Structure 1
């Protein structure tokens, strides 16, 4: 799953000589180096975050825990990442964009290796919590760096490559850890993911040019940030967008969390490789997000968003069929609908927020990851009580709430227009 947001807009407060320094364009080697470096950062961030998702049944067996408890290995990371995002960009104003991202990637990879050596479940959860905190130092800061350093007319392509790294990292982290676990065990799998991403962090810092347009906002007090967040929370339309982000992410993560439990049991008996490969349907979502952007420009966001949510609901209904092809097609539809909905909802934040857009986006990301954590863990109760019908019913209720919020939001937007 991909993150594209900045905490604060860059402001030109540096001397005029720095403002006159040309920005990166595709004709310059610095642009290519920066694009590749940010691709690596996105890849590392999301492969580290989601590498545990196909391992939840393995954790249940290894530590003797319930599915709900096992899902905490992902939930604690997403919660701590969501909170850390709120503070990452202010830290980067003080310590520098490039420096903060490098330290965050290196520390996160090291913590993933340590999690692979965890002697017990509490230690695993502690290490994954710390990993989420350190990962929070990358997404918002990466997008801020690109916005500052790349020529505006070239920015979309650079952003696209960064988002591609996010998507590929999320998919490879899931598929790779599943395949490696089957042949080498889960501890080795997590260790290897950490080593690969530590290597990616080193190449990241070697490739990424130093900031030439870094313009700190100065010392903004806590009261300023609280006021900015409060203004967005009490805007009539933005809270609906935040709720939609939390609900669609919660349903999406819940299905993927417990699909492994279903498919590794009778009558399917998927092995770790087969389960890991299920996450390759992520590629359908990457394409769907691009199409969603084109459609929203042509027919309007308020029309595309309900279609995305409806596609997610249709996919969940299809997973209730017993045949493997129906399950795979259903999960593919769910993925396409999720990426469509997320692309529209996240893009809407910047349109509705007239000031302090970084604060508005950070709130969206906070709700987005909190939805993942809360619903992803709560789904374990439904799985334990009713198995897959419980998961399907739970996620359909969540998406029904999202659909209602989408129609309400569309009405408010039409009324304002």
Structure 2
């Protein structure tokens, strides 16, 4: 019997796998970012500053960043599908309880635990996909998974946001978690069993070697830089744009501010298209082009017009998710032999470390320099990410 080479488009198992990962993305990212839509009301209700309120997002992404490598170890031992199932079910249970706690301290602690549990999906999903999908279709399949994460991020914010206008931000966050419970159930039902996974015993020395192999690779370090810098800038824009628009001269109502997250649909469109385009012209040109689009979009938000700000946000979001689709799929594909899971884990460690650190730190920039300061900082992050990619990844392309 011929060795199984991976699922291909058109096969029922391929469709089930893509759908399962789509719902895993929804279940993960809807609850991860739902508080972002209610940050101004959370800050007012709990009596904290914008940067402190933003910790509701940063705490969960910090937990996720810390947990991705342990989850990758568990995935090597117990299987990709099993690990993701445990993580997403645990996170959903904590997510349903988090908005019920009375204080900011307890809420942040619950968000930290929730984020740590959610780490199972991004730590493992791309490794699961790269093992079970035929090599010729991994880039496009990864783009479809990233599209699911954008829908999840959008759904969580759109569900939670309108409740804040009625003074019920806790109900909104709970409703987003309930939606995630349904998506988690669909993932458990649809995800096909792994056919190319071989369990491996947990060997910490071997894990250390696999991590070091990736950390010694200039190409991998450049990809991790994309994750840290671009994600940090992306989260900061969505954290503080609502605060800016709620103030004079805009005075935009919160229910309208929550609709700004529809800009995520730009990422839903751009991520699979970026993957398909990379298959034709190469990953590096698409990565650099997407980063340039992201930078141009954030600069448009300086124009004092709500319409132009919305257009800039859509452009910014499309550019970010195009870059993320390429970088996240490139990471396990270019990892040293036998280290794909660890490469993906390190990518997401950088990704969520950027979300936590820069998503909070740019709140201090917002407090001191206003929205223009945030835009300048994010544009600089995009430029630095592009420089890292051009310097390290072009050499990797020429060597291959």
Give TM-score scaled by structure 2 length: 0.89
Residue number in structure 2 paired with 1:118: 101
Please list, as runs of the form range in 1=range in 2, the aligned pairs for 1:383-398 lying within 5 A after superposition.
383-398=366-381
Conserved in 2, the CA contact under 8 Å of 1:146 and 1:155?
Answer: yes
Residue number in structure 2 paired with 1:8: none
SS at match of 2:41: helix
Conserved in 1, the CA contact under 8 Å of 2:223 and 2:327?
Answer: yes
Given candidates 211, 222, 236, the residue that maps to 1:229 is 211
Given candidates 241, 250, 269, the residue that maps to 2:223 is 241
Q: How far, CA to CA, are the matches of 1:156 and 1:294 in structure 2?
A: 7
Conserved in 2, the CA contact under 8 Å of 1:383 and 1:390?
Answer: yes
Residue number in structure 2 paired with 1:342: 324
Residue number in structure 1 paired with 2:66: 83
Q: 1:387 to 1:192 in 2, by over 3 A?
A: same
Please list, as runs of the form range in 1=range in 2, the aligned pairs for 1:18-417 lying within 5 A after superposition.
32-149=15-132, 159=142, 161-183=144-166, 185-209=168-192, 211=193, 213=195, 215-355=197-337, 356-413=339-396, 416=399
Q: How far, CA to CA, are the matches of 1:208 and 1:304 in structure 2?
A: 30
Greater shift after overlay, 64-73 or 96-105? 96-105
Unpaired runs of 5+ in structure 1?
1-15
Conserved in 1, the CA contact under 8 Å of 2:4 and 2:196?
Answer: no
SS at match of 1:51: helix
Residue number in structure 2 paired with 1:3: none
Q: How far is 1:66 from its partner?
A: 1.0
Q: 1:182 to 1:310 in 2, by over 3 A?
A: same
Q: How far is 1:250 from its partner?
A: 1.0
Q: 1:103 to 1:245 in 2, by over 3 A?
A: closer
Q: How far is 1:72 from its partner?
A: 0.9
Greater shift after overlay, 380-389 or 268-277? 268-277
Q: How far is 1:397 from its partner?
A: 2.2
Q: 1:37 to 1:268 in 2, by over 3 A?
A: same
Q: How far, CA to CA, are the matches of 2:9 and 2:387 in structure 1?
A: 43
Conserved in 2, the CA contact under 8 Å of 1:249 and 1:372?
Answer: yes
Q: How far is 1:162 from its partner?
A: 3.5
Cα offsets for 1:112-161 (capped at 9, x unmatched): 22221121111011000000011112233344444555566776776555
Conserved in 1, the CA contact under 8 Å of 2:159 and 2:175?
Answer: no
Q: 1:370 to 1:274 in 2, by over 3 A?
A: same
Q: 1:316 to 1:144 in 2, by over 3 A?
A: closer
Q: How far is 1:373 from its partner?
A: 1.1
Q: How far, CA to CA, are the matches of 2:127 and 2:392 in structure 1?
A: 28
Q: How far, CA to CA, are the matches of 1:208 and 1:348 in structure 2?
A: 23
Q: 1:349 to 1:41 in 2, by over 3 A?
A: closer
Q: How far, CA to CA, are the matches of 1:411 and 1:23 in structure 2?
A: 29
Conserved in 2, the CA contact under 8 Å of 1:175 and 1:273?
Answer: no
Conserved in 1, the CA contact under 8 Å of 2:127 and 2:341?
Answer: no
Q: 1:293 to 1:204 in 2, by over 3 A?
A: closer
Conserved in 2, the CA contact under 8 Å of 1:232 and 1:353?
Answer: yes
Cα offsets for 1:350-378 (capped at 9, x unmatched): 45323222222221111111111111000
SS at match of 2:120: coil
Give TM-score scaled by structure 1 length: 0.86
Conserved in 1, the CA contact under 8 Å of 2:140 and 2:275?
Answer: no
Q: 1:77 to 1:308 in 2, by over 3 A?
A: same
Q: How far is 1:78 from its partner?
A: 1.1
SS at match of 1:116: helix
Conserved in 2, the CA contact under 8 Å of 1:33 and 1:208?
Answer: yes
